[in-house]
Amino acid sequence: MALFPGARKVLALPGFKKYFANTSWLMVEKIFKIVVVLFVGVYVARYLGPERFGILSYAMSIVVLFSALSSLGLDTILVRELVNWPEKQDEFLGTAFILKLAGSGVVLILLSIVLYFVESDRQNNLIIFIIAVGLIFQSFNVIQFYFEAKVLARFTVAAQIVALIVISITKLFFIWLGLPLIYFAWAIMLESLILAIGLAVVYFKQKLNVLSWRFKFQTAVGLLKDSWPLILSGICLSIYMRIDQVMIKQMLDSQAVGQYAAAVRLSEACYFVPVIICGSLFPAVISAKKQSKELYHARLQKLYDMMVWIALPFVLVVAFSANRIVLFLYGREFSRAGPVLTIHIWASVFVFALSVRGKWLLAENLQKYNFYSTLTGSIINIILNIILIPVYGILGAALATIFARISAFYMIPLVFKNVRASLTCFHIALVSPIRAIVNILIAKKE
């Protein structure tokens, strides 16, 4: 425990036991999901092979690029409003649900238009559209954010696990039957539907009724007024999270996308950690701000400490064993994914740090800087992909991702003074684990 002073201090803070109990439920679900998804994903990748797996990954990347328009950046805004105004939950949930539903419809229309003029392969178009239909059912995720605001994650974990198990068994059944690629697109869409049904059932079991939700125009305007920077930043985030796979497909081929996607899936396996921890502790941060600046700043610093302590060990282990991990999981057919994983995994450190800063900006109502940050990262990622992919192939895309994440984290605070405190918190958080690692290396040499 001597190596984890940041984590011990967080646990000692008043009121954190409740939030860590909530986090533990979310962690159980996500860890279970990671294990199952990796297990099933490996079988799917092995069955499809690099080329067909690349087509499926490309289709999913296209949908992700448009998904920010369907969510409308409402997720964290909704949690904040439900925490601050619990008596208006039916109004907020109903309004957010209708907005998300409308956003999903707009996405399907835009996607149809774009694919008609850009993508000539009819099978690819069909696969993309099938996956995109799932965005409609994701409108029911407002139920999940209701329980998140109430710090009651255990009520939604069951629905998510059931949906995951059903779809995982379905995919394995498809492999056993030897079915073509398009069936796996249907499975992705079906998972969103099953989860939506599960969330509705859980909501009803708590003696709550979705029929009591109501849409209010003024509330919709207020939510969108606060969320528009998050919509734009979500679009930018989608771009620099998935544009690399789209550009690899256009500049190289589907097989290269499959190799790259296999590495990225392993690299991004840890991304749920900052999302869950920050999401679960966000109500605590808002609550601390109401109590005192000292408690507020202390909790933010401890979040940074925790993120760094979790990220660095994970990155070091994966970076030095990437080739063996890929060979063991995917086999020699995906051997080109190993070097990509070695490079790509280092972006995780900044993903963890950006998760905390995103929450801080939201708490300070400075969402526009989150947009500036992700816009910077997405632009740099696109430029570097154009330069590096033709020269270094999929390794160039991995390098572009790292530089984009670093740029997204550093450039905006260096320009704007009122967000520079995030750099200070991050650098303070880095000191302790780096010192511990150096001490361990010195001890080994002696």
Q: What is the pLDDT of residue 342?
A: 92
Give the pLDDT confidence score for residue 7 in this predicted structure: 47
- The pTM of this model reads 0.76
Cα dihedral value 416, 420, 426, 428, nearest 10: 150
* Residues 335-353: tens digit of each pLDDT: 888 899 999 888 888 888 7
Q: In the predicted model, is pLDDT for residue 30 greater than 80? A: no
Q: How many other C-beta atoms lie within 10 A of the C-beta of residue 38?
A: 14
Task: Check: CB of residue 323 under 8 Å from CB of residue 381.
Answer: no
Give the model's pLDDT for residue 175: 93
What single DSSP character describes residue 213? Answer: -
Q: In which domain, by residue range, is 195 found?
A: 5-445
Q: What's the rounded Cα separation, in Å, for the pair 38 and 32? A: 10
Output the pLDDT for position 152: 66
Q: Quick: pLDDT tens for 119-146.
A: 667 788 889 989 999 889 888 888 877 7
Provide the mean pLDDT of the chain.
Answer: 79
pLDDT digits (tens, 9 = 90+) for 424-438: 556 566 666 655 555
CB 167 within 8 A of CB 194: yes
Can you tell me the distance from the alpha carbon of 230 to that of 364, in angstroms, rounded to the nearest whole number? 14
Position 33, amino acid: K
Whole-angstrom CA distances from 429 to 6, 7, 17, 310, 359 are: 8, 11, 22, 11, 17
> What percentage of the chain carries pLDDT values higher than 70?
82
Q: Domains in the chain: how many in total?
A: 1
Per-residue confidence band for 10, with pLDDT thresholds at 50, 70 and 90: very low
Average pLDDT of the segment spanning 241-250: 87
Distances (CA, A) of 22 to 34, 150, 326: 19, 10, 33
Tell me how far apart the alpha carbons of residues 311 and 288 are, in angstroms, rounded to a whole number: 25
Judged against a pLDDT cut of 60, whether residue 446 lies above it is answered with no
CA-derived radius of gyration, the chain: 22
Burial class (CB in 10 A: 0-12, 13-18, 19+), 328: exposed
State residue 3's pLDDT score.
43
- CA–CA separation, 334 vs 433, rounded Å? 33
How confident is the model over 305-325, as pLDDT tens digits?
777 777 787 888 888 888 898
Q: What pLDDT is stored for residue 20 in this prediction?
A: 56
Computed from CA positions of residues 319, 63, 356, 282, in that sequence, does the dihedral angle turn out positive or negative?
A: negative
CA trace torsion 187, 190, 192, 196 (10° rounding): -150
Query: pLDDT tens digits, residue range 51-82?
Result: 898 999 889 888 888 887 887 777 777 777 77
